[in-house]
Amino acid sequence: EPEVTQTPSHQVTQMGQEVILRCVPISNHLYFYWYRQILGQKVEFLVSFYNNEISEKSEIFDDQFSVERPDGSNFTLKIRSTKLEDSAMYFCASAPRWGYTFGSGTRLTVV
Amino acid sequence: AQSVTQPDIHITVSEGASLELRCNYSYGATPYLFWYVQSPGQGLQLLLKYFSGDTLVQGIKGFEAEFKRSQSSFNLRKPSVHWSDAAEYFCAYFGNEKLTFGTGTRLTIIP
């Protein structure tokens, strides 16, 4: 069964550093998403991406965040200057239209 | 405002007993509804989804859910739980180009 692959599974970074979280969506999917889950809290929407542009973003997704689909297969989330409160599990998802498939997540720890 | 509510934060069930996890939604149009399961430290796995048609939806791992428009509910059920069902369960709806999750219900199974 096709999977969404996320790397790394766990990343530790110092506050103020840039991080890039990587995702390989399912190849024939058209819609791509990033969500995050702070420990013990619910899953929150960050951004959706379709047709090479952001289609929707949440209040969380401020100027420190950006997404790219640089080569037609990868889908990345960049955090320019990480803060302690960015520590969370970040999930990538892709969908043909409905019915997301989520990756297993990247646990980001900012110290 | 559109939202999804899971009124039970934590439920404990004996192995072999039946299970019902509650989900209520607030959405103007017919919602697209989902149930996801998350094992500790893992990603989100889709159990089942409702778009339209038959209001009783069958999913994986023996789960089912019933959409009741009159009650604005989409409760998840399983006739006999197994120890491996212990996890966090999230109800979600798709609207405005994104999934919105409930706060989750943690399911504990006792022998």
A98 and B99 within 8 Å at the Cβ level: the answer is: no
Whether residue B60 contacts residue B34, with contact meaning beta carbons closer than 8 Å, is answered with no
The answer to whether residue A40 scores a pLDDT higher than 90 is no
Candidates B97, B105, B106, partner chain A, best to mutate (most A CBs within 10 A) = B97
How many CB atoms are located within 10 Å of the residue A13 CB? 16
- Say whether residue B106 is in contact with chain A using an 8 A CB cutoff: no
What pLDDT digit, counting tens, does each position of A52-87 carry? 899 999 999 999 999 999 887 899 999 999 999 999
Question: For tokens 């889908």, what's the residue?
Answer: A75
Percent of chain B with pLDDT over 70: 98
Give dist(CA A106, CA B9) in Å, integer.
25
Share of chain A above pLDDT 90, in %: 79
Least confident of A6-15, A21-30, B27-36, B45-54: B27-36
Write out the two tokens for A14.
């110092």
Asked if A42 and B104 come within 8 Å (Cβ–Cβ), the reply is yes
Residue B62 carries which DSSP code? G
Collect all residues of chain B within an 8 Å Cβ-Cβ radius of residue A105.
Answer: 42-43
Average pLDDT estimate for A96-105: 85
Which residue matches tokens 């979280």? A21
CA distance A86 to A70: 23
Residue whose C-alpha is closest to residue A64's, from A91, A83, A87:
A83
Any A CB within 8 A of B104 CB = yes
Tell me, yes or no, if A48 comes closer than 8 A to chain B by beta carbon.
yes
Residue whose tokens read 């989100």: B44
Q: Which has the closest alpha carbon to A91: A49, A43, A54, A57?
A: A43
> What's at A91, amino acid-wise?
F
- Tell me the average pLDDT across B46-68: 93
Count chain A–chain B contacts defined by CB atoms under 8 A.
Answer: 49
Is B90's CB within 8 Å of A42's CB?
yes
**CA–CA gap between residue B25 and residue B92 (Å, rounded):** 9
d(CA B35, CA B47): 5
Inter-chain touch B98–A43, beta carbons under 8 Å = no
**Chain A CB within 8 Å of residue B31 CB:** no
